[in-house]
Structure 1
Amino acid sequence: MKSGQMANKILLTYIVADILFVAMGAVEIGFAVIVNNVRDEVPSTGEEAARNLLYQRFPLSAGLVNAIFVFATFALSIPAIIIPTRGWLKVSGVMVSFCSLFTMIVGVYLWVLTLKTKADMSEQWNVQTSDVQDLLQTNFACCGYFNSTSPAFVTDDTCPSPAAAALMRGCAAPLTSFANIFIDDIFTALFGMVGIDVVLILATACLLKDRKEQERFRHIDEKAGFRSF
């Protein structure tokens, strides 16, 4: 009786981890679709402009592919739950491991972006319209990118003249700080998803071991029944 209860707990743990796994896949695909739709919109505030610049550097295609793998893996896990054998479960476990590695790679990619944010955003700043630069200067209270002359600031209420602009900081520091905090939150969430993947991998291993034990006892019972016959 205790063995049966333990088996049920292991299966229940696996099912809960599997549901969390596919929920994270839904979050990932939802995020990728939403970001893909808004990243090229005309911003109305400096924060929106900065956010869109960051979104344009995100590996959204990789995120969509990873989410598709997550859903495919979840689909494979359904027969693994229903059929009390180990074949489907092993395939599902391999797929979960692949998804975990994929998610970690995307997270590491975003982390690497934070190491070169200042240089990357400098290139993006140079190709923005004066309206976008105006929004950024106003929101982050700065003039120009590195300073008011490199590149030259856009004349607006924050930077009304060269003399006033020279007294203001460049936008590189506040933009970089904003970008790093924003990206940190994203890749931390991705590493959290990897944590859920690891829980599912451990639950898969436990369920595989339990089913192997059940198969062994079943074979023993079959042999015993044959001999008694």
Structure 2
Amino acid sequence: MVSRTLIGFWALFDVCLLAGGVISIVFSFIFRKPDLLLNLAISMADLTAALVLGIMLCITFVFSIGAIVQKNHVTIGLVILNYLLIIDAIAVLVAGTYVWFFSLRQRNEFHVLYQQLPASSRVVIQDKFSCCGYFNGSDAVENAGTFCTQSQIAFTNSLDPTDVNNAANFCVGKVTAFTDYALNNIFSWYFRSCYGFMPIILGLLLLSLCVINMRKEDERFKKIDAKRGGRGFV
């Protein structure tokens, strides 16, 4: 018979898996709000990935309940569960690694996103941060709003973008300062937690293998016992 201690640890890791799925789903909904800079740092694709990952973990949990309640000689459910856990682990690894790699190239990555923003959104950013242009005074600059007037654009465009003393005049530093804060304190917090799902997934995988092995062993001894006339072992 499978020990209660083993089943207890299995149940603990399974509940943690459910908690991870719920956290991922809640995260994806909390940050689906209209916020220009936050939406720049956390795209809808990122939130959709978090939602999909959360649903995957919750589906795995539901399947695990059906797998563990099967009779001892039925282990196919636990075998399928292990394959699901491997898929979950791959998804966690891919998602976490993508965000980590993206965070290493923020200045260039957000340059592309900044250029894709509508002109009205760039005007809002220019006025909020009192800056003109992204990397320099002529890079995705909008002659509109309260700050970037024609004279201010001309002044900013005359500055040397390689001079650190002029950095405050361009939007790149201020935009990436905000997005870096968002990634480090909000988004990366989630994906550090996301990487934290990995020990749970792998732990449940190993515990499931142990349960399968113990069940097979129990069935083997039952068959041996049956051949001996049900007298058991001394």
Q: Structure 1 residue 102 and structure 2 residue 91: aligned?
A: yes
Structure 2: gaps (5+ residues): 160-165
Amino acid in structure 1 at the alignment position of 2:179: A
Partner of 1:220: 224
Equivalent positions of 1:167-182 (< 5 A) are 167=166, 168-181=168-181, 182=183
Identity %, equivalent residues? 26
Residue 103 of structure 1 and its aligned partner are, at CA, apart by 1.9
Q: Structure 1 residue 189 and structure 2 residue 176: aligned?
A: no
Aligned residue pair count: 215
Over the aligned positions, Cα root-mean-square deviation in angstroms equals: 3.0
Please give the alpha-carbon distance, in whole angstroms, between the structure 2 residues aligned to 1:176 and 1:32: 22
Mean CA deviation greater in 58-67 or 150-159: 150-159
Amino acid in structure 2 at the alignment position of 1:179: T
Structure 1: gaps (5+ residues): 44-48
After superposition, give the CA deviation of every residue in 1:70-112 in whole Å (9 maximum; x if it has no partner).
Answer: 2222222112222243221111111111111112112222223
Partner SS state of residue 225, structure 1: coil
Please give the alpha-carbon distance, in whole angstroms, between the structure 2 residues aligned to 1:136 and 1:82: 56
Please give the alpha-carbon distance, in whole angstroms, between the structure 2 residues aligned to 1:130 and 1:34: 27
Partner of 2:77: 88
Partner of 1:73: 60
Please give the alpha-carbon distance, in whole angstroms, between the structure 2 residues aligned to 1:152 and 1:227: 88
Partner SS state of residue 229, structure 2: helix
Partner of 1:206: 210
Residue 53 of structure 1 and its aligned partner are, at CA, apart by 0.9
Partner SS state of residue 90, structure 2: helix
Taking structure 1 as reference, are residues 185 and 158 closer, same or farther at Cα in structure 2, changes over 3 Å only?
A: farther
Please give the alpha-carbon distance, in whole angstroms, between the structure 1 residues aligned to 2:85 and 2:189: 23
Please give the alpha-carbon distance, in whole angstroms, between the structure 1 residues aligned to 2:106 and 2:70: 49
Q: Structure 1 residue 14 and structure 2 residue 1: aligned?
A: no
